[in-house]
Each structure stands twice: as structure tokens, then as C-alpha cells.
Structure 1
Amino acid sequence: MRPTGAVTVTRFAPQQWLVYRALRLASLADAPDAFGAQLAQQQEWPDKLWQMRLEAGIFSADACPLLARCDGGPAGLIWGKLEAAHDPDGGSTEAHVYQVWVAPAYRGRAVGRALLDAVIDWARSKNAHAVNLSVALTASAATRLYRRAGFVPVGKPQLLRDSALLLTQPMQLLLHPSQQ
């Protein structure tokens, strides 16, 4: 989708399910308090489930699973998904961002920004009026990335998952603020 120096962001291809699985499991091991999913559960998934999950995203018009490569190696991932907005007038679409992660070896090299820009571009191409995400309150680097991209906090912090007392802050980027 968009090269940024040595960083390239593309949609995952079906045959890259092993790369997706490796990045996703690495993200859950590296930052267990940043995701709703838990490592132990996803480690138990059979190969077929990983393949089906990635293919469902790849072949859906409403999903955008993206892979970042830096210097030729897999460096991170992000997953965008379109959902109907909570709009009383109806017909409005929002994009939601999930699974944002950059491998430690590639942090500080604009990989996160390249991933985020690519999913924002995708959301714009789908005529979404906003992009939403949640960030762990303890994730200061991620929060700084989102703020630099124009995201602002919306609403009150929420529980990351029922089994933990970890809080996340919902954030939003309006894509067409003049129309709001």
C-alpha cells in the first residue's frame, strides 16, 4: 500500500498465514496487557483456524489485515474493520483498529506510523467517517503515536477484558471533521 523509506505496508496474502500467526503470537507475548486476546488461548489454535481467520479478513470488503515489512523482514501488523456507526440517522460507517503491534527490533523506525497511515487511508477509501481504537492506559508510546496521528480520547476508560483490571482509553480520528 505505502512504502515509507525501508518500511512497506501491504495487505496480508492467504499464504502468509504463518507470518500472521507468528506476529500475532509475538504481539501477545510481548504486550499481554495491550490486547483483549490472551496468548495461551491463541497458542492452542490449530493451523486451520489461523488460515481461516486470515482469509476471512483478506476476502472481506469490510476488513483490512495489513503487514509491515522493514528491510525485508516482517515488522508489524494492524487490522482494520468497518462497522456501522452508532448514528441515529443511520447509514454511517466507522473503521475500528485492532491488533496494532510493531516488533521490538523495528520500533522507532516509523513502522507503527506507516501501519496506522495505511489503515487510515483504507478507511477513507471506504468512506468511513471516523477511525476508532482503544489503547491501554499504560501504553505511552502507542498513545503518543495515536495522538500524533490526530486521534483524541473519547469517552471514559474501559476494562480491557473482564478477567483483568486493565483499562483502555477509547480514541477517535474524524476523517471528515467539516461534515460533522
Structure 2
Amino acid sequence: MNELEISILTPKDWERYKCVRLESLNDSPDSFGSTFGEEAALSDSEWQSRLDLKSRGLDALPLIAEINGQAVGLAWGVIHAPDREVVHIYQMWVSPASRGKGIAQALLSEIKAWALGSGCNLLALAVTTSNAAAVRLYRSSGFITTGQPTPLRSDSLLMLQPMVMTLHSGE
């Protein structure tokens, strides 16, 4: 594998973010609460705004994974006030050609390090129960199921399973 580079998306990266996010929604429509149609309809200023964390008052870590300048993965870590002890993971995706190469694990590691550095003690996410590969990834990374599955979207038969990982500063 060529060298993997993971970087933080900033407002100037909005076009790269838009491209990889839409690619993820097109590739894996059953993995996200949002749809390709909903996000493809967003204006350029809305895409720019998503990455303007300061103006949104958002404590987040939007990450992009690239190999040779080609986007191959995406993930966000977000701390929602007032519960500043939990980092929620959203938009986790790796391109089909790059799956199984440790990219998702590298994205999770970056978010975990950020969470620990932010004084958080829990990572939380929700995974589509039918996505066996993602469920295996999260379980092998130390996540456990919590709570009851809920529908992916109001009109969907697919279910999301909440999962959490407890963090310890010594990890």
C-alpha cells in the first residue's frame, strides 16, 4: 500500500470534502442517515459552512484519508455540548477499493487520540446492523453494543445499532 495520509479538513477543503462525502453516500446508501439526494442538493456555501467549525461553535475533527492525493476515506469525531465527555463518530467511510487495508482503523485511531486529548472518556457511534464488515471492525476495535437498534431513517427497514468504547487516559 502506498503511504496513507490522514489530515483534518478545513473550510478551504470544502470541495474535496463534498466529493468524498457524495461518493460515500452514493457507494453506501444504507450506511448513513442522510441520503445522496439530500446532500447533492446542498449549495456550495452550505458545504463550506460544514467545515467552518468555529463559526458553527462545533467541537469536531473532520478527517480525510488519502493515498497519493486520492481520497479513500472519511470520518468525523464530534463533541456535542453539554455532554463534553463523549466523542460521537459520524460519516465513517472507506472506498471499496481501499477496504481491508487498515484505513478505517487509522481513522478511528486519530479520533480516539483526539478524544483522549480532549478529556473525553467515551466514543459513540451507530452502525447499520446489516453491515457485517463495519460491525466486525468496531467490535475488534473495542466497541460494544448498547441500547436497542433504531431505524436508519423514518422510511427504512434497516436498523442502526448504537455502540460505545470506553476510553482510559492510559491507553
Q: Distance in 1 between the 2:56 and 2:149 partners?
A: 33
Aligned residues: 170
TM-score after normalising by structure 2: 0.91
| Structure 1 counterpart of 2:4, from 7, 15, 32 | 7
Matched, 1:96 2:93: no
Which amino acid in the other structure matches residue 16 of structure 2? V
TM-score after normalising by structure 1: 0.86
| Structure 1 counterpart of 2:152, from 160, 174, 177 | 160
Which amino acid in the other structure matches residue 113 of structure 1? Q
**Residue 145 of structure 2 contacts residue 162 of structure 2 at CA under 8 Å; is this kept in 1?**
yes
Matched, 1:22 2:10: no
Unaligned regions of 5+ residues in structure 2, if any? none
* 1:11-90 equivalence runs, <5 A: 11-56=8-53, 62-84=59-81
Q: Distance in 2 between the 1:118 and 1:12 partners?
A: 13
- Percent identity over the alignment is 37
Matched, 1:149 2:141: yes
**Residue 116 of structure 2 contacts residue 169 of structure 2 at CA under 8 Å; is this kept in 1?**
no
Q: List 4+ stretches of structure 1 deviating above 4 A.
A: 57-61
Q: Distance in 1 between the 2:147 and 2:82 partners?
A: 15
Q: Distance in 1 between the 2:61 and 2:149 partners?
A: 26
Cα deviation, 1:102-147, whole Å, max 9, x if unaligned, reads: 1112112111111111111111111111000000011111111111
Matched, 1:130 2:135: no
Structure 1 residue 57: deviation in Å? 7.0
Unaligned regions of 5+ residues in structure 1, if any? 87-91
